[in-house]
Structure 1
């Protein structure tokens, strides 16, 4: 899948979005295209640039194909990721390694393949999709939280390593987003309506975050308006990380 939009702040720029075939990634691809970018979606399915972020060969081939077709890469959105449930004893070693391989090492694989192209861009930016799970203890999310905590630390380390090369690195920290993965969790719950209400209630603004809201934050971090924003995490969580509201009167 590729897309390009009308003139905007990303006009003339090429953006790569991993995990862009659905959910947050799809919303990001659409938002960047609407703002003028030529967008190349990397995903394991339903996309022109097939890419498995756990396979270095396919990663390098996909990134090279994008650069060959469009002549440049200016923006990288490391969005590909998977979820997992369970306490610290709730997943096998294989599942721990699988989640970390996709969510953390996958970012490293795609970034190192894209770096030679980003270094040649005068507008280079990387945005990683992190999570509220990196900054707040959530029940039954041990391996997922560990992976996203690593993404937050990795974002800061990457920012320090590459700022003097002219590459800005930041991350976005969504709360619970209304994505297909959350939809599957709700469908599997004993009472989907009650589970949705509970997930909505734990965010102070009282609802799930939309993929489009996360996409707008990603576009800000990747764009020229955030030229002095480096090594930052931007919360899009309805106030979940920062606010401590008193209970409503009964």
Structure 2
């Protein structure tokens, strides 16, 4: 299909930045982040466009995606890499921390997928890749809020994928294990597996899904897990 346009949400660090790096040499890339200085640093490094967008604000999500469409004409894929960590026992988390995790991991992802899927349907094609977490595979008593919010995203993507009725608009998800990223630094070393993937390795799989063609069959709703360094 030649050069295409991709939006990487949470593209200023970690996995999102690794995804943007893999795409930028051959495609138009727009990175979204909620910290202006980080957006500026990422766009300077990559030589791509960027936008300050806090996905917990519906208006910022709506306007940010609309500006991409106005500039480039289409959005061929969206990588939903933004996430907020909320580790620790429920009683140890502040009310504000809980609220913010829900705003980003639940409301923000809902706003993002709502607007992204509508844009893709209007143009008749495109891919969405939601980044979940391998923590969903089994109960994790030390991260009840984080796991609950990521479970919401998993359920939302499952339902959206079934609702598309066309492989031309693909809604997929990928659930990597812990990676040495900035989020992982906040998590703590005790949550990092002995065998783990680097963000650059996981990014190749995200890009594979983003680059699927409109006519590729049997992939909408695809769920990819990474455990012990293997897909």
> Same fold, TM exceeding 0.5?
yes
Alignment match of 1:210 (pick from 198, 206, 217): 198
Cα separation, 2, equivalents of 1:12 and 1:121? 16
Unaligned runs of 5+ in 2: 40-49
Runs of at least 5 residues in structure 1 that lack an aligned partner in the other structure: 1-9, 187-194, 243-250
* Distance of 1:180 and 1:107 partners within structure 2: 20
Conserved? CA contact 1:126–1:168, under 8 Å: yes
Contact 1:152 1:233 in 2 (8 A): no
Question: Higher relative contact order by CA 8 Å / sep ≥ 6: 1 or 2?
Answer: 2
**Inter-partner Cα distance in structure 2 for 1:182 and 1:224:** 29
Q: Could you say which residue in structure 1 is the equivalent of 2:44?
A: none
Q: Please, what is the CA RMSD of the aligned residues? A: 2.3
**Alpha-carbon separation, structure 2, partners of 1:232 and 1:61:** 28
- Secondary structure of 1:80's partner? coil
1:160-188 Cα shifts (integer Å, max 9, x gaps): 122437311111101011101222444xx
The structure 2 residue matched to 1:22, chosen from 10, 13, 20, is 13
The answer (yes or no) to whether the contact 2:84–2:104 under 8 Å persists in 1 is yes
Q: Is the 8 A contact 1:59 1:109 kept in 2?
A: yes
- How far did 1:222 drift? 1.9
* In 1, Cα distance between equivalents of 2:97 and 2:183: 17
TM-score, with normalisation over the residues of structure 2?
A: 0.84
Distance 1:212 1:239 in 2: 12
How many matched pairs? 217
2:193 corresponds to: 200
Tell me the residue number matched to 1:191.
Answer: none
Q: Which runs of 4+ in 1 moved over 4 A?
A: none
Structure 1 match to 2:163:
161
Question: Within 2, Cα distance between the matches of 1:155 and 1:52?
Answer: 20
Q: 1:216 to 1:222 in 2, by over 3 A?
A: same
Pair 1:165–1:238, CA change in 2 (3 A) = closer
CA distances 1:106-163 after superposition (whole Å, capped 9, x unpaired): 1111222223321144541110010011222234111000011111111101101224
Higher alpha-carbon Rg? 1
Q: Work out the CA distance in 1 between the residues paired with 2:126 and 2:166.
A: 11
- Cα distance in structure 2, aligned partners of 1:185 and 1:108: 24
1:37 corresponds to 2:27: yes
Asked whether the 8 Å contact 2:85–2:186 carries over to 1, the reply is no
